[in-house]
Amino acid sequence: MSLIDSQKKISSCIAWCVAIVVISLLPRAARGASVEQVLASLKGLPAAETQRVLEKGARKEGKVACQLI
With a CB cutoff of 8 Å and minimum separation 6, the contacts of 38 are 57
Give pLDDT, residue 33: 67
Contacts by 57-66, CB closer than 8 A, 24 or more apart: 61/32
- pTM of the predicted protein model: 0.41
Q: 43 by DSSP, 3-state: which?
A: coil
| pLDDT over 80 at 50, yes or no | yes
> Distance between CA atoms of 56 and 49, rounded to whole angstroms?
10
For residues 40 and 32, what is the distance between their CA atoms, to the nearest angstrom?
Answer: 14
Q: What are the tens digits of pLDDT across the range 25-34? A: 655 545 566 7
Who has greater pLDDT, 8 or 21?
Answer: 8
